[in-house]
């Protein structure tokens, strides 16, 4: 009996002696790496964080935004793991496209388990757009033109074949009876370049994310033929039809968020997680998110880690259907 009591007491003592993770102080220097050239979705994600952290008083010195293009996140992913794994103040932006590339093994020898997934701050939706003076007024007309002569319709996007921007148009093409392998597709480094190419009439269609289009829609230079959401988006975007309502059962939500290097301490990770939880509840952040055309999607810590790994597994199965993954 005494032995049993001593065992229980020892167990209780051990449980009391192990404290919960305590958050560190705010990093003295903060940086957000956008894994592309300026102007695209990664840039937008970093700028959202840069402005919101300072507006809510969580940092006193401005966050630095740096650009590290290459492989839709592959260069940045490899750099943060191999060269900068313990930088407490450095976060890297990621999107659904990053997860899709991870699912196909495009990030080299590193996998989804090699970084610390930190926070999701919003979701975007895929879309296809043309110039305002293009002959196609809806998705049916565009896909019919592609079906009649794929060589006459050049699609451009901020990533290579197999990327999420390619996948969006490939899914639409396949649902319309067009062989995705026959699409004329031009890959750019980031969404900003593909929009510039469209406005310059070097390509006829751009596949990208809705948030990237908002400034151009306001200028009247572009027309979005379809947004890949379950239902129409709110506010000023409510006039844009979904792909589903036009008869094409294609949805493509685009998560946007951040990860940390694999050797960042638990205490520093905890500071960031608490910072993002505070952001999600603040009016300042919600206003900045809305200004950038993003929609609410807040996950941090273990919940995000679980979501990301499940999403990568689903993308892998989807990629297999196009012969893009094993």
Q: Spell out the alpha helix ranges (H) of 28-126.
A: 41-55, 74-82, 96-103
**Residue 209: enclosing H or E segment and its boundaries?**
strand 205-209
DSSP structure string for 258-296:
EEE-TT--HHHHHHHHHHHHHHHH-HHHHHHHHHTT-B-
pLDDT at 21: 55
Residue 258 in tokens: 């951040």
pTM of the model: 0.76
The Cα 107–Cα 27 span in angstroms is 28
| Domains of the chain, CATH where assigned | 31-124+253-321 (3.40.190.150), 125-246 (3.40.190.10)
pLDDT at 212: 78
pLDDT 10s digit of each residue in the chain, 326 long?
A: 434 434 433 443 333 333 345 778 889 999 999 999 898 889 999 999 999 999 999 998 999 999 999 887 899 999 999 999 999 999 999 998 899 989 989 899 999 999 999 999 999 899 999 999 999 999 999 999 999 998 889 999 987 788 888 999 999 999 889 988 889 999 987 777 888 999 999 999 999 888 778 778 888 899 999 999 999 998 888 999 999 999 999 999 889 999 999 999 999 999 999 999 999 999 999 999 988 888 999 999 999 999 999 999 988 988 888 888 77
């Amino acid at each position: 009996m005494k032995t049993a009591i001593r065992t229980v007491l020892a167990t209780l003592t051990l449980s009391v002696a192990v404290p919960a993770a305590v958050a560190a102080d705010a990093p003295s220097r903060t940086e957000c790496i956008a894994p592309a050239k300026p102007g695209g979705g990664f840039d937008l994600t970093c700028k959202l964080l840069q402005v919101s952290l300072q507006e809510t008083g969580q940092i006193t010195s401005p966050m630095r935004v740096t650009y590290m293009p290459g492989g839709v996140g592959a260069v940045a992913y490899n750099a943060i793991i191999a060269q900068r794994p313990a930088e407490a103040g450095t976060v890297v932006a990621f999107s659904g496209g990053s997860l899709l590339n991870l699912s196909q093994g495009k990030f080299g020898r590193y996998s989804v388990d090699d970084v610390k997934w930190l926070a999701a701050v919003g979701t975007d939706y895929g879309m296809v757009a043309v110039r305002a003076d293009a002959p196609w007024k809806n998705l049916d007309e565009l896909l019919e033109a592609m079906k009649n002569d794929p060589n006459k319709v050049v699609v451009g996007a901020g990533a290579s074949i197999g990327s999420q921007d390619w996948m969006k148009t490939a899914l639409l093409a396949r649902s319309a009876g067009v062989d995705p392998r026959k699409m004329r597709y031009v890959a750019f480094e980031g969404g900003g370049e593909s929009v510039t190419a469209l406005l310059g009439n070097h390509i006829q269609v751009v596949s990208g994310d809705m948030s990237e289009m908002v400034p151009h829609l306001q200028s009247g230079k572009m027309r979005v033929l379809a947004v890949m959401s379950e239902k129409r988006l709110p506010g000023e975007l409510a006039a844009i039809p979904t792909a589903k309502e036009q008869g094409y059962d294609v949805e493509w939500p685009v998560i946007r968020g951040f990860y940390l290097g694999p050797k960042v301490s638990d205490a520093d990770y905890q500071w960031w997680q608490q910072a993002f939880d505070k952001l999600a509840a603040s009016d300042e952040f919600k206003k900045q998110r809305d200004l950038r055309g993003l929609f609410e999607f807040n996950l941090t810590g273990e919940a995000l880690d679980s979501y990301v790994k499940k999403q990568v597994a689903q993308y892998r199965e989807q990629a297999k259907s196009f012969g893009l993954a094993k």
